[in-house]
Structures are given as C-alpha cells and as structure tokens.
Amino acid sequence: MPLAHFDGALAVVTGAGGGLGRATALALAERGAAVVAADIDLPAAERTVTLAKALGAESTAYQVDVADAAAMEEFAAEVRDTRRVPDIVVNNAGIAMAGDFLDHEVEDWERVIGVNLWGVVHGSRLFGRQMAERVRGLPAKPDKPNFGGHIVNIASAAGYTPSRVMPAYCTTKAAVVMLSDCLRGELAGLRIGVTAVCPGFSGTNILRNATFVGTDRATAERLRERADRAIQARRYPPEKVAERIVEAIVKNKPFVPVNTEAHVLRALSRISPASLRLLARAPAVLR
C-alpha cells in the first residue's frame, strides 16, 4: 500500500497517548493523514503529536475523557468547527480490570463500562453522525465505497473468549463487537465503513495499568507485573496491530482478529464454544 494512501484525510484517535493508540496515530500520519490525538493524559497526547509532526503530518492534541458524555460532545464539536468532519475515527481508549465477578463493585463496573463501552458509543455516535450529515449533503460517488468515512472500534479477543478473571473487560469488549456490527449495517448505505478490531496478546501497557479487584495492593502489584511480563514476552508490538487497522480501513473489513491466538480463539468460539467455557475456568488474561 502506498504511504500516501491517506493524503488529505483527517483521523481522530482516542487513547492516542501511548500503546496501540499512539501506534495507530503514527501509522495513519505516516500515510499522509492529519491526526487528532486525543487522550485523558494531555502530555502523553502531545508526545504523540510531536512524533506525528516528525513524520511530516499535521497533528493536534486534545485532552478528553471518553467516558464523559458532555466532554465528548464538546470534543466532537470542536474538531468539526476548528478542523472539519473527520474521515477516520479510531475509538481505541480502553482500560483493563481483573478479578472475580463477585469482587467487582458497582463502581468498578461503571468505570469499565464508561471507558470501554460508553467511550466507543460516544465516539461512534458523535463522529458517525457528522460523517452521515456530510454524506447526505454531497453527491453520491458509488465508485468510492469508503467515501463517507470509516470508524474503527478496538475490541479484543476477550470479546469472544470468556474468562473468570476478567468478567467486566470481556463483557465490554463483546459489546463493542456487537455494536460495531449493528453500526456497520446502519451506515453501509452511506458508504461509511465500520470495523471491530480484536487483538490478542499485544505489547501495550493495558495490563500494566490494570485494576485488580478483590485483593490487597501487594498481591495486585505482583499480578500486574506477572501479567505484563506475559504480554511483553509475546513480542507482538502495537505497531503490528496498527498495520492491521490500516489494512482494515483500506479494505473496509468488518471484523479483524489480530495475531495467532486471536484467530485460534475466534475459531474455537464458533466451532467448540464448550472448550472456551472450560478455558474460562483458568486464571488467564487476554490482551
């Protein structure tokens, strides 16, 4: 694929302050897109912008909490008013939480759902509406199936792999997959693509920053370090996932499992769901 494939495109990436979000923002910038790097951590988003500008891409940093509906409304309106309607939106921001279901409090569920699901809902709804309004105001171009724009929602192999130690995370990621399928059906007639991306183990900091419920601080820290070492040992960097995201946008793919374990688990979910239910009893984590 030519590096200039996205020349003239405007891309919004949430959770762009590091990990997969930063890798995706830079992959799009390298291919000519202007990037809006959004993150709750503004200095981290600004570092991504510095890297994007070094690639020659126009880039802007924004601080936003994707779980905050009002903040996301303001963010989407500001992007439209100060820049324009984006062509690509990557709803990437996410958090991990581990522990037994019975140890999760209501506040724990609200936090994970707020970021992992509501963040995707807000980004898809607000920017998807902008894209739809733009398409309706322009003449049809049937020779350009992606003309209306593209929304990428980052889910996880955990979205189709049950786990006794990650009930909230798995639940929200499963919801992101279904939301993406529903939205793809709705927006297809407007030439707006929607993709759910499901990484398996990938070298991001999501588990390093995870919350562990139902345990003391010292035990939680040991679990966090152990999980992060396992993820890093997989040696599948976020840049590889970002390449798959770029490919998904170009080819307008509906669903993208990323790396071997994601494909294997997807196959098991369809061929032998009982085996995954058995696997769910094991104290393992994904992504």
CB 78 within 8 A of CB 85: no
Give residues with Cβ within 8 angstroms of 98, minimum separation 6. 165, 166, 169, 210, 211, 212, 213, 223, 227, 285
For residue 169, indicate whether it is catalytic.
yes
Distance of CA 103 to the CA centre of its chain: 26
Q: Which of 62, 160, 169, 236 is catalytic?
A: 169
Cβ-contact 67, 118 below 8 angstroms: yes
Cβ neighbors of 217 (< 8 A, separation 6 or more) are none
Task: State the Cα torsion 139-143-148-149 to the nearest 10°.
Answer: -160
Sheet hosting strand 192-199, strand order edge to edge: 59-63, 34-39, 10-14, 88-91, 149-154, 192-199, 255-258
Residues tagged active-site:
169
